[in-house]
Homo-oligomer: A and B are copies of this chain.
């Protein structure tokens, strides 16, 4: 470990801001982003990133899901790369830090190693994971899922997912030139370990007055697609008591999702997406679709909360007695993840050295991350830096340049510390 080696904070922040302005910025004065995965903006950012990494002497591999692995060689030829991964895609109205900071910080680490001619034992890899957001192609953390657990996230199924325009993911990959040859499988293109710097996306660090979160786990999540069926009818002639109005029932169910999460305190439950079959103001809706997103600290809590919500649904259907019914379908899930003590300890040690005990806390992540998947197949942990007002998935998302730089510095030192132990034969 080289305790005096420091990343270039100004370079990190100006690169982050300028690339965001260039590719996917929402209209000023908003500093929001719309850089949907595999879009033109995403392609341009990827092309730039690949060029930058190649200029630093990295070997760049693109895998079958478009994941970018930019690998700086190490001296120990028999070791896998130490990974620094995150994502550069955003929500349709997201911010400049969610995911983007992690990849930019990884690039800054590579730049720092390069200009200081640091020789590491392990290769060091920057990874840009494809479609973390799941905002264009449904299925968040999709490509890290394929890489880590093909059995639960099959490659062919992911290729076959469609965006709203009906474009297949495989075609979208091909179209922007990122349908690579490298196997999207940790067994064939593996990592020694995986570190990820990310914004917290919640209010805890700010509330506690801390600068760094040492992430020990990621909460479990499940998505459920709900379909409510009723009977279409004319809004001016169907008597109020005789209606089988799918939207009224759906409205009561959506309210119950929130109320049940609030009341039980088991975790988070959110309905983000709703669609009614009807496009006419004069028609009683016959069908409504919505998706419930449930997240709790443990998988058991996720299942408990889901059970409680469905019980509330059944009471409402029983109470309405209006002929409406609902169907439920599990669409996506991410089991709870416990990070690896080696990686957790490395990040904690480095953070304590960098800013001292007052500024550091252990925490779990309430949002899903690519690291949740990588943790299943290689030692993993994450570094969190504060989000202003806890806001994320929103154009107002903000993390100060100082905190961005601090995160990148801890990433650099964590990678070097882990590498040193590998060199010593400890890991």
Chain B residues near A24 (CB, 8 Å)?
A: none
Counting CB contacts under 8 A, is A374 at the interface?
no
Most chain B beta carbons < 10 A, residue from A223, A274, A283: A283
Instruction: Known A255-B255, A262-B240; judge A235-B282 contact (CB<8 A).
Output: no
Chain A 121-140 near chain B by CB (<8 Å), digits 1 or 0: 00000000000011100101
User: Is B240 in contact with A201, judged by CB distance below 8 angstroms?
Assistant: no
| Chain B proximity of A101: nearest CB distance (Å) | 15
Chain B residues near A276 (CB, 8 Å)?
A: 272-274
| Chain B proximity of A161: nearest CB distance (Å) | 13
Chain B residues near A250 (CB, 8 Å)?
A: 251
With both beta carbons as reference points, the residue of chain B lying nearest to A254 in the complex is identified as B251
User: Is A281 in contact with B272, judged by CB distance below 8 angstroms?
Assistant: yes
Counting CB contacts under 8 A, is A202 at the interface?
yes
Q: In the assembly, how many copies of this chain are there?
A: 2
Most chain B beta carbons < 10 A, residue from A237, A255, A295, A394: A237
Interface segment, A4-12, A63-71, A111-119, A284-292? Answer: A284-292
With both beta carbons as reference points, the residue of chain B lying nearest to A284 in the complex is identified as B270
Instruction: Known A274-B276, A393-B232; judge A248-B237 contact (CB<8 A).
Output: no
Most chain B beta carbons < 10 A, residue from A203, A234, A262, A276: A234
Counting CB contacts under 8 A, is A91 at the interface?
yes
Counting CB contacts under 8 A, is A221 at the interface?
yes
Chain A 239-261 near chain B by CB (<8 Å), digits 1 or 0: 11111010110111011001001
User: Is A202 in contact with B237, judged by CB distance below 8 angstroms?
Assistant: yes
Counting CB contacts under 8 A, is A168 at the interface?
no
User: Is B140 in contact with A282, judged by CB distance below 8 angstroms?
Assistant: yes
Counting CB contacts under 8 A, is A231 at the interface?
yes
Chain B residues near A333 (CB, 8 Å)?
A: none
Counting CB contacts under 8 A, is A278 at the interface?
yes
User: Is B272 in contact with A285, judged by CB distance below 8 angstroms?
Assistant: yes
User: Is A234 in contact with B202, judged by CB distance below 8 angstroms?
Assistant: yes
A236 interface neighbour in B135, B203, B367, Cβ under 8 Å: B367
Counting CB contacts under 8 A, is A92 at the interface?
yes
A270 interface neighbour in B235, B272, B366, Cβ under 8 Å: B235
User: Is A394 in contact with B280, judged by CB distance below 8 angstroms?
Assistant: no
Given the complex of chains A and B, what is the CA–CA distance between A181 and B145 in angstroms?
Answer: 63
Counting CB contacts under 8 A, is A381 at the interface?
no
Counting CB contacts under 8 A, is A419 at the interface?
no
| Chain B proximity of A312: nearest CB distance (Å) | 13
User: Is A293 in contact with B273, judged by CB distance below 8 angstroms?
Assistant: no
| Chain B proximity of A5: nearest CB distance (Å) | 32
Counting CB contacts under 8 A, is A85 at the interface?
no
Most chain B beta carbons < 10 A, residue from A232, A243, A254: A232
Given the complex of chains A and B, what is the CA–CA distance between A245 and B242 in angstroms?
Answer: 31
Chain B residues near A202 (CB, 8 Å)?
A: 234, 237-239
Chain B residues near A251 (CB, 8 Å)?
A: 250-252, 254-255
Given the complex of chains A and B, what is the CA–CA distance between A271 and B164 in angstroms?
Answer: 25
Given the complex of chains A and B, what is the CA–CA distance between A242 and B270 in angstroms?
Answer: 13
Chain B residues near A280 (CB, 8 Å)?
A: 91-92, 133-135, 272-273, 393
With both beta carbons as reference points, the residue of chain B lying nearest to A296 in the complex is identified as B236
Chain B residues near A219 (CB, 8 Å)?
A: 236
Residues on A close to B: CB < 8 A? 91-93, 133-135, 138, 140, 164, 200-203, 219, 221, 223, 231-243, 245, 247-248, 250-252, 254-255, 258, 261-262, 268-274, 276-286, 291, 293, 295, 366-368, 390-395
Q: Can you pick out 15 interface pairs between chain A and chain B where the beta carbons lie within 8 Å of each other?
A: A93-B277, A135-B282, A164-B279, A201-B236, A203-B242, A233-B393, A233-B394, A234-B366, A236-B368, A237-B392, A272-B278, A272-B282, A272-B283, A273-B281, A282-B368
Give 5 nearest A-B pairs by CB, closest first.
A202-B237, A235-B270, A251-B251, A232-B394, A251-B254
